[in-house]
Amino acid sequence: MLKYLRISYFIISLLSLFDGISKENKPNVLFILVDDLGWLDLGYQGSKFYQTPNIDSLSNEGTKFLNSYSTHPRCVPSRYGIMTGKYPARTKSPGPGSQLNTSEITIAEALKENGYSTFIAGKWHLSRGDRGSSPEEQGFDVNFGGGDSGVPKSYFYPYNIQTRGKGNENAPDITKLPIVEKGYHITDQLTDLTVDHIKNYKKEKPFFIYLSYYAVHTPFESKEELERKYEKKVIKMYGSREVDEFSYESTTGETKLRQDNPIYAGMIENMDTNLGRVIKALKDKGLFENTVIIFTSDHGGLSNRGNGRPLATSNLPLRAGKGHNYEGGIRIPTFFVWKNKIKSGWSNTIITGTDYYPTILELTKNEQKPDQHLDGISFAKSLFGKKQKNKQRPIFWHSPRPRTKSTGDLANTAVRLGDYKLLDFYREGRVELYNIVNDEGETNDLSKIMIDKKNELLNLVKEWRISVDAIE
């Protein structure tokens, strides 16, 4: 009898492991969103210039995605997609009316309804003046630093007084942060507040923490010792700081050709150091093993320009960067960690920003809400090594408000279906077609060769624009 009981317990344990989730003990969720972080801006992604030991180590404990996309190559629309599970084109984004409003149900509200405590530290950027709604109105119990602003005027306190860089003097003030000593770094403060929240956690409810760093967005401001460190590394790697580091093409403007901005590198390393502090706090509190950790960026790195602005990084071999629907603007680093639950390694599953909402619901054993996350599909199965049924679904991007002078992009709609991606430059009456698997740099336009595939994807784009009532 004992023998059969042992076998039964063994089978139950295997089934529980395969399912990956205990129904009784819902996991905490820590969602870490980095601003403007490019596909190749991390060590584990292949960067030889930036140093990110904490992120690299953490990523090795979970599932890393080779085909992770933002829903838009700019901040506000991308964050709308994450919070709502909907394509930003549904709300006329980007545009004056694209801020989040209380008629939308966010992932924070969905989790709160299911017994989670909710906390945000950092960038919200889904409201502006009398438009849009605050984190508190959209499901967050505690809010530090989340409001209208999408960028600090300075990364060093006081954050609302410009000290370095340019182009941010008209940004709304950052509010809802405690006063700190002059010169304190905002990335450090957001981490302090998150660590304190973890330390004071009472375990009465599972938590959802949304740590949304303002880094590594402009203005370029690093701690001085890190900036000096990377200035030396530039010379060591390239021999000199003074080089011709840009190429030019009419559809993307100027493109930065190498990773060599010492200030930006220092901002990345400081962000990495702070992430390490958060993970240590989870482990010290005994929460690490029952916390789903999600790390991602809101879109590609700032690598292109039309007006001579300073640039952050290079996304090569991906084409272009922030603002563009080429791969450099929308493909992003993403990984999920859940100790002893989620498998470690790389996944080929194609995911986009709308998918976080339903995936988090599935991981936390909450019911899907398809009427809310209209465009999101859970990819939780791929985190446990199972086959994903949505492999061949199309995913879309729509950019009706280009910033030709700023980032060098043009208005277009794009779709990826399987191995192929089409960009419809509808105002110019032309399209481009690429096999993304064989040509991730989007250098070989197949639109004049693969006519049937071009027509198939172009019809998909046209039908989708109508279905979401996208502005053109």
Mean pLDDT, the chain, integer: 90
Per-residue pLDDT, averaged over 14-31, amounts to 64
Q: What is the pLDDT of residue 13?
A: 38
Cα 28 from Cα 42, distance rounded (Å): 25
pLDDT tens, 433-446? 999 999 999 999 99
Residue 329 host element (H or E): helix 327-330
What are the tens digits of pLDDT across the range 184-225?
999 999 999 999 999 999 888 999 999 999 999 999 999 999
**What SS3 class is residue 227?**
helix
For residues 116 and 89, is the Cβ–Cβ distance under 8 A? no
Q: Which residue in 223, 265, 295, 238 sits closest to 47, CA to CA?
A: 265
Residues 6+ apart with CB under 8 A from 83: 100, 104, 106, 107, 108, 126, 138, 357
358-405 confidence digits (pLDDT tens): 999 999 999 888 888 989 999 999 999 887 765 579 999 999 998 988
The pLDDT assigned to 138 comes to 93
CA atoms within 13 A on the CB side of 139: 26
The pair of structure tokens assigned to 2 is 């004992």
Residue 165 pLDDT: 56
Q: CB–CB of 117/141 below 8 Å?
A: yes
> Per residue in 154-170, is it b (16+ CB within 10 Å) or e — as a string?
bbbbbbeebeebeebee
- Whole-number pLDDT of residue 98: 64
Q: How far apart are CA 132 and CA 143, in angstroms?
A: 16
- Residue 344 and residue 354: Cα distance in Å, rounded? 23
For 343-356, write each residue's pLDDT tens digit.
999 999 999 999 99
pLDDT attached to residue 243: 62
What is the residue whose two structure tokens read 């007006």? 307
pTM for the full predicted model:
0.93
Tell me the per-residue pLDDT of 215-253, one tens digit each, with 9 for 90 and over: 999 999 999 999 999 999 999 999 877 666 789 998 999
Mean pLDDT on 249-274: 95
Tell me whether strands 246-249 and 253-256 are parallel, antiparallel or unpaired.
antiparallel
What span, in angstroms and rounded, lies between the C-alpha atoms of 410 and 251? 7
288 pLDDT above the threshold of 80: yes
Distances (CA, A) of 355 to 37, 287, 352, 388, 449: 19, 25, 6, 13, 33
Helix (H) or strand (E) holding 230: helix 224-238
For the chain, give the longest Cα–Cα distance: 78
Q: Could you report the per-residue pLDDT of 85-103, keeping only the tens digit for each?
A: 999 999 876 666 667 888 8
pLDDT at 319 over 80: yes
Q: What is the 8-class DSSP label of residue 331?
A: B
Using alpha carbons, list the distances in angstroms from residue 159 to 141, 153, 163: 24, 6, 9
State mean pLDDT over 318-323: 97
Cβ pair 298, 36 in contact under 8 A: yes
Contacts of 250 by beta carbon, 8 Å cutoff, 6+ apart: none
167, pLDDT greater than 70 = no
